[in-house]
Amino acid sequence: MASVPRSTPKQTLRRLTIIVALQWMGATLGLPLLPLFLEHRGGTPSIIGLIMASFFVAGVITQFFLGHLADRFGRRPVLIFSLVAYGLASMTYLLPAAAPWFALTRVIQGASAGAIEVASMSAVASLFSEQQRGRAVSQILAAQLFGIAIGPVAGVVASVNELGFAFFVTGLVSLAAAVVAFNTNLGDKEYDPSPLPKLQWNSQLTGALFAASASGLTIGVYEACWSLLMHSHHATTLQIRLSWTMFSLPWVLLSRVGGWLADHSNRRFIALAGLLNGAIFLSIYPHIHNNVVMLFVGSLESVGASLSVPSISSLMSQGAVDRELSRRQGLYATSNTAALAIAASVSGFLFTINSALPFTLIAITASALAATTLWWWRHVNGHIKLTA
C-alpha cells in the first residue's frame, strides 16, 4: 500500500453511510420480484429457493476469510474490489441466461455484500475511539436499514420484465461507489508484511457472537415466514411492503439515540434488553390478526432493536487491536448470517405444520442464546466511559 488517502474520520463516516445506504437500496430494489424474474427464466420452485439461499451461503463461507484479507492487506482494497464485483454481478441480470446461471450472480453478490459490511464496520471501529464507537456504528446500521426501507418501495416502479435494467442501474451505482472508496481513508496504515496478531478470543467477542446468532435466528424467521404470515391474515401486497418500511424507519430515526446509549450507558444491559425485546415481539406476531396493528407493532419492535444493536457491535470490537478488527467483524457477520440461514431454512417447514410454530420455537431459542451473554459478559465493563 504506497499511500493512504486523506479523509477525516467524519468524512469517511459520511461516505461510508452513503455507500452502504445505496448498496442496500440496490440489493433490495428488486428483491420482492426476483423469484418471479427467475420463474420467467425457467426456474422451478426448488431451483429458485437454492438461488435465493446462495446469497446467504456465500456470506457465511467468505466473511471471515475476507475479514482476514482486510486485516492483512487493508480494508480499502477489499471494499473497492467488493463494490466492483457487486456492481458487475448486478449487471448480469440483463443477460438472456437461464435461471440456474443466476446462482453464480447471487453467490458473487452475497460474498461482496458480506465483504462490504465487514470492511465498512471494521473501518469505523478503527477510526473512532471506543468512547465514540457506538454513535459511529449506529450511523452505518441506520444506513443499512434506510436502504432496506427505501429499496422495496422504490422497486414498485419496475416490473418483472424491467428488473434486469433496475439491477443494471444498481450495478452502475456500485461502481461509482468504488471510485469514492478509492479516495477514502478506512483506517488502513502503511502495508505491514509482518504476521497478523493472534485473534483475541475474549469474553467480549464470544458474547457478541452469541448475541449475533440470537439476532440472526429472529431475522431468519421473518425472511421465510413474515410475508406468509401476513398473507394468511389476508394482508394486501401494499401492507406487506409497508411492513418492512414501517420496521426500518424507526430504526433510522432513532439510530443516534442507540449510538448515544452505547457510549454512555451499560452496553451489556442495553444489548441483552434489545435481544429479549426482539424475541418477545417475535412470539406474539402470530396471535395478532389485524394487519394494521401488525404494522405498528413492528415499529415498536424496531425501537428496541435500534437502541441495542450499536451496543452489541461496540462490545464485539471492545479491547481489540487494529489488525484484528476485520476478522472480528467477519466472525460476527458469519454468526449472524449462519443463524439467519438456519432459521430461514427450517421456519418454512415449521410454518406448514402450524403458523405460530416457527415464531414461538425460534423466540425461545433466541432468548436462550441471549441469556448466555449474562455469563460471557459478566466481567466486561459495559460503561466504556469509565475506562476513558
Please give the chain's pLDDT, 388 residues, in tens: 456 667 888 999 999 999 998 888 877 776 667 777 888 888 886 787 788 778 888 988 999 999 999 998 999 999 999 999 999 999 999 998 998 899 999 999 999 998 998 999 999 988 998 888 888 888 898 888 888 777 766 666 666 677 788 888 889 989 999 999 988 988 887 667 778 888 888 899 999 999 999 999 998 888 778 877 887 888 776 777 778 778 878 888 888 898 898 888 899 999 999 999 999 999 999 999 888 898 888 888 888 888 888 999 889 988 888 889 999 999 999 999 899 888 888 887 888 889 899 999 999 999 999 999 999 999 988 887 544 3
C-alpha span between 377 and 384 (Å, rounded)? 13
For residues 208, 213, 215 and 217, what is the CA-based torsion angle, rounded to 10 degrees? -170
* CB-based burial, 346-361: b 16+ in 10 Å, e otherwise: bbeebbeeebbbbbbb
Tell me, what amino acid is at 275?
A: L
Rounded Cα–Cα distance for residues 378 and 274 (Å): 17
Rounded to whole angstroms, what are the CA distances from 374 to 268, 316, 368, 380? 8, 15, 11, 10
CA distance 26 to 176: 13
Cell of 249: 424507519
Residue 103 is classified by DSSP as: H
CA neighbor of 202 nearest in space, from 381, 380, 323 = 380
152, 29 Cβ separation under 8 angstroms: yes
**What pLDDT does 3 receive?**
61
- How many angstroms from the chain centroid is the CA of residue 240? 20
CA atoms within 13 A of residue 214's CA, in its CB half-sphere: 32
Quote the DSSP letter at residue 188.
-
pLDDT of residue 326: 92
Q: Which domains does the chain have, with CATH numbers?
A: 9-182 (1.20.1250.20), 203-378 (1.20.1250.20)
Which distant-in-sequence residues (6+ apart) come within 8 Å of 36 by Cβ?
160
Instruction: Give dist(CA 318, CA 311) in Å, integer.
Output: 10
| Structure-block grid coordinates of residue 61 | 463461507
Distance between CA 42 and CA 36 in Å, rounded?
10
